[in-house]
Structure 1
Amino acid sequence: MKIDNSPARGTRDLLPAAVAVRDHVLSTITEVYGRYGYQRIETPALERIERLSGGQGGENEKMIFQVLRRGLPERVEADTELADLVDMGLRYDLTVPLARFYGQHRGELPTPFRSFQFGPVWRAERPQKGRYRQFYQCDIDMVGEPGMLAEAELIEATTQALNRVGLTGTTVRISDRRFLSTLATEAGVPAEEQDGFFITLDKLDKIGWHGVAGELEKRGFGSEVVSAARDRIEALGEVPGDKLAATLADVLPSLPEVVLDDLATTATCLSDIGAQNSVSWEFDPTLVRGMGYYTGHIFEVTAPGAAGSVAGGGRYDNLIGRSLGTDVPACGFSIGFERIVDLLSEPPARERLAVLYDNEVPASTVLATARELRGGDRSVAPVGRSGKFAAQLKRMEAAGFTAFVHLRADADAGALEERPLRDD
């Protein structure tokens, strides 16, 4: 039987040039986050299915890859419930595993705990350009800090990491789940129906107010609800940072004072961050984010040339309590690693030297020559001589080598001449 050698649908193989870009992005982000005191942890790809499907993952819970229990028979009864067959699932993000991690290891961790994670996640997406069933996330989280310092530091560290990677001119969009709840309440949306209302509102940038109104009507919301929400949202468009709290208080009189204070603090911090890192910011009353576990500030970062956001996160003070039985303040930021890599099409420049050796040269001599030539940030690898000389040089250049030395059987290794593969 002939085996299909293509990767699984919705996944992909990565060639060395693509991996070089990814390694550069990851090492740069890791270095920046490390300077802010974030420590890298690792969590398993598999989590218990009841944790992944606990109602906090929003739409992502519909895309969990579920894993069958061990030891099942080859055939099961036709009326067997799926829950009786499944006990694990592949993680769909890194935040839910972090909450479980912190609940298990809290006694061994400092307060606040600054966490950094990088790893693959899986979602049963419909494969299309830019959307994969397996992709990588890059997260930082601060656990145990109740104040706005967490939000401000996460935003500062992440925007600086993006700048260092090469994404400049970014914009931070800010909102707050408590603001959204007040907005929905004043517009006449019952508390138990607000999740559905937010899911539809989150599509505003894709389908516009006409599309949002149509979907809300299908969900049972009357035109007066849509009109009331729209009036309040449009009254908050393009509000200057120094007038944000006052404008919010006028538009939403029932908005709690603590929310106004938190947003005012964040606005001050963002103004300082923007002045230092050339980052702009705005309050976006339509920003929702899909995860059900957010409890306070939510934020996203957009960049020129990027379709959608390149990073996003928010505060989730109740999620860890599912493991501990008591709530712990927490805030996190996830970088859209795959989107950033797609925006950076060229790998970083790095010198790669080939030791092109004739077949008669002993292996010990080849290895000793390569060893002596390695130094600094240069990569040196032996390559056996084969085929036509010019054709082989072209193959070496295509493989990423920038220069070569030719090691012949009668050559003096100390007098080898380095020659570029491309004459610019």
Structure 2
Amino acid sequence: MLKPSIPKGTRDFSPEEVARRNYIFDIIKETFSLYGFQPIETPSFENSETLMGKYGEEGDRLIFKILNSGDYLSKVDEKLYSKKDSNSITSSISEKALRYDLTVPFARYVVQHQNEIIFPFKRYQIQPVWRADRPQKGRFREFYQCDADVVGSTSLWQEVEFVQLYDAVFSKLGLKGVTLKINNRKILSGIAETIGAEDKLIDFTVALDKLDKIGEEGVKKEMREKGISEDALQKLQPLFSFKGGNEEKINSLKEMLHTSEIGMKGAEELTFITDTIETLGLQTASLEIDVTLARGLNYYTGAIFEVSAPAKVNMGSIGGGGRYDDLTGIFGLRNMSGVGISFGLDRIYLVLEELNLFPETVSENSKALFINFGEKEAMYAMKAISKLRSVGIKAELYPDATKMGKQMGYADKRDIPFTVLAGEMEMEAQSFTLKNMKSGEQFQMDYSELQAFLKS
């Protein structure tokens, strides 16, 4: 018989892992709420036309398509079918696709529900997304995104708030040394204009975004392959060696971009955000301008963010986002500016695990296991268990009246700290015998003493 398995890039989660994931979810949700964001949910799959063409060529390739129900090949044109070109027949056999992120479905939601929404609309969404990517450490084909967006305002105070929100979440998680990298797509447009590569802006930004993965020479090689000239690469050289603090970097940018109106606008926006954060201060994270940060998604138009884990952890970005001036325009609603960020839950989990930052109480299971001595005794125990549960104490009864050693072994393996014995003797005395599973000590007590002890 074949051993059951799951698809590559997906995972099963144990009770302990789910408890730890919920700990992260709860902190993120609580902070989103604190900042005035409201929750929404959208379907796990969308119509293909909603998703396709919104993420650039690379993103489109990574979208999981869903085959139409029934005899999906019957509608395919014979000539098309005989070519055996899967790309050309995809639209005929697949009309739906699993969502690639939460931002495009959110844009669709805003357009569809525009008459019910109060703008500016602050929403958060925590749901799984799917990408047909090559699985590796920290990169999965099914993973959760935790997004917050504001649409209907062009104010840069939103960007400032998102920097603070990131900082608040990582502070609550006890994660120190996180770097919030920031750039602006207007700056990248300005650079492309300055080096004479405006027509290659997307190729330029997609290549530049890979700097931390393929290095300076790898980026230049990719740019050459996309037709960016040697002269343009020469002019680009200072970009690879920007040094100093945020103020110095902005001054260098202004010098480099003084002939580009859009580039100077980007520099002004960056100045406002970094100066404001400098005045307000951050708890644990640091904000750093990274002029090579491009985030290869076509819809960003202003500020772009990427969050780097502490240097001692070998991990990719654990969050990111940015400003998009007309994302809803793809669905017919013009002039609806928005800005949003995302938390990479799975990577944050791996970072917290590696740095041993999960509190011990996160995975705490039942406080007490009542030993089962038989039907009458089980009823006596269950009455006590019901009362304990009503005051928020986690307790359970072993379901079978089997050997006591087996029941004790079960409590031990489950890391349940106390067992409660309620046999004939205890029932007569209207008491319980509590055993500390670590020390082996036993105490006889009535119900109110038992409740007070387990509560403490």
For the criterion TM > 0.5, the same-fold answer is yes
Per the alignment, residue 449 of structure 2 pairs with none
Alpha carbons of 1:359 and 1:417: their partners in 2 closer, same or farther (altered >3 Å)? closer
Aligned counterpart for 2:395 among listed residues 380, 388, 395? 380
Do 2:371 and 2:407's aligned partners in 1 also have CA atoms closer than 8 Å? no
Per the alignment, residue 172 of structure 2 pairs with 164
Aligned counterpart for 1:353 among listed residues 367, 370, 378? 367
Partner SS for 2:139:
coil
Alpha carbons of 1:73 and 1:24: their partners in 2 closer, same or farther (altered >3 Å)? closer
Per the alignment, residue 271 of structure 2 pairs with 264
Do 2:398 and 2:407's aligned partners in 1 also have CA atoms closer than 8 Å? no
Per the alignment, residue 289 of structure 1 pairs with 295
Aligned length: 419
Amino acid at match of 1:254: T
Q: How far off its partner does 1:182 sit?
A: 0.9
Alpha-carbon distance in structure 2 between the residues aligned to 1:182 and 1:58: 23
Aligned counterpart for 2:344 among listed residues 328, 336, 342? 336
Partner SS for 1:322:
helix
Per the alignment, residue 413 of structure 2 pairs with 398
Alpha carbons of 1:410 and 1:208: their partners in 2 closer, same or farther (altered >3 Å)? same
Q: Identity percentage over the alignment?
A: 32
1:195-234 matches, cutoff 5 A: 195-234=202-241
Partner SS for 1:145:
coil
Alpha carbons of 1:376 and 1:255: their partners in 2 closer, same or farther (altered >3 Å)? farther
Alpha-carbon distance in structure 2 between the residues aligned to 1:63 and 1:299: 22
Do 1:356 and 1:385's aligned partners in 2 also have CA atoms closer than 8 Å? no
Alpha-carbon distance in structure 1 between the residues aligned to 2:69 and 2:160: 45
Structure 1 residues 392-401 or 169-178, which shifts more?
A: 392-401
Do 1:59 and 1:291's aligned partners in 2 also have CA atoms closer than 8 Å? no
Alpha carbons of 1:106 and 1:423: their partners in 2 closer, same or farther (altered >3 Å)? farther
Which of the pair has the greater relative contact order for Cα pairs under 8 Å at 6+ separation? 1
2:13 matched to 1:8?
no
| 1:112-135 deviation digits (Å, cap 9, x = unpaired) | 111111011001112233221111
2:292 matched to 1:278?
no
Aligned counterpart for 1:419 among listed residues 426, 429, 435? 435
Alpha-carbon distance in structure 2 between the residues aligned to 1:389 and 1:87: 59
| 1:58-94 deviation digits (Å, cap 9, x = unpaired) | 6222111101223335666472422111110000110
1:99-110 matches, cutoff 5 A: 99-110=107-118
Alpha-carbon distance in structure 2 between the residues aligned to 1:41 and 1:411: 52
2:77 matched to 1:62?
no
Alpha carbons of 1:202 and 1:28: their partners in 2 closer, same or farther (altered >3 Å)? same
Amino acid at match of 2:193: T
| Alignment root-mean-square deviation, CA | 2.4
Alpha-carbon distance in structure 1 between the residues aligned to 2:58 and 2:131: 10
Do 1:146 and 1:330's aligned partners in 2 also have CA atoms closer than 8 Å? yes
Alpha carbons of 1:78 and 1:378: their partners in 2 closer, same or farther (altered >3 Å)? farther
Q: How far off its partner does 1:168 sit?
A: 1.7
Query: Which structure has the bigger radius of gyration?
Result: 2
| 1:358-414 deviation digits (Å, cap 9, x = unpaired) | 241345434322112236654222223576645643433433423222233542395
Aligned counterpart for 1:322 among listed residues 324, 330, 336? 330
Alpha-carbon distance in structure 1 between the residues aligned to 2:259 and 2:14: 55
Q: How far off its partner does 1:314 sit?
A: 0.3
Alpha-carbon distance in structure 1 between the residues aligned to 2:409 and 2:174: 30
Per the alignment, residue 36 of structure 1 pairs with 35
Partner SS for 1:411:
helix
Alpha carbons of 1:303 and 1:394: their partners in 2 closer, same or farther (altered >3 Å)? farther
Give unpaired runs (5+ residues) of structure 1.
none
Alpha-carbon distance in structure 1 between the residues aligned to 2:158 and 2:114: 18
Alpha-carbon distance in structure 2 between the residues aligned to 1:24 and 1:341: 10
1:81-120 matches, cutoff 5 A: 81-120=89-128
2:304 matched to 1:298?
yes
Structure 1 residues 352-361 or 315-324, which shifts more?
A: 352-361
Structure 1 residues 340-349 or 111-120, which shifts more?
A: 340-349
1:121-270 matches, cutoff 5 A: 121-189=129-197, 191-234=198-241, 236-238=242-244, 240-256=245-261, 257-270=264-277
Do 1:351 and 1:402's aligned partners in 2 also have CA atoms closer than 8 Å? no
Amino acid at match of 2:252: T
> TM-score, normalised to structure 2's length?
0.85
Alpha-carbon distance in structure 1 between the residues aligned to 2:256 and 2:114: 41
Partner SS for 2:80:
coil
Alpha-carbon distance in structure 2 between the residues aligned to 1:414 and 1:180: 76
Alpha-carbon distance in structure 2 between the residues aligned to 1:244 and 1:73: 55
| 1:135-182 deviation digits (Å, cap 9, x = unpaired) | 111111111121101111112112211221221221111100110111
Alpha carbons of 1:414 and 1:343: their partners in 2 closer, same or farther (altered >3 Å)? farther
Do 1:249 and 1:260's aligned partners in 2 also have CA atoms closer than 8 Å? yes
> TM-score, normalised to structure 1's length?
0.91
Amino acid at match of 2:288: E
Alpha carbons of 1:343 and 1:399: their partners in 2 closer, same or farther (altered >3 Å)? farther
Structure 1 residues 275-284 or 177-186, which shifts more?
A: 275-284
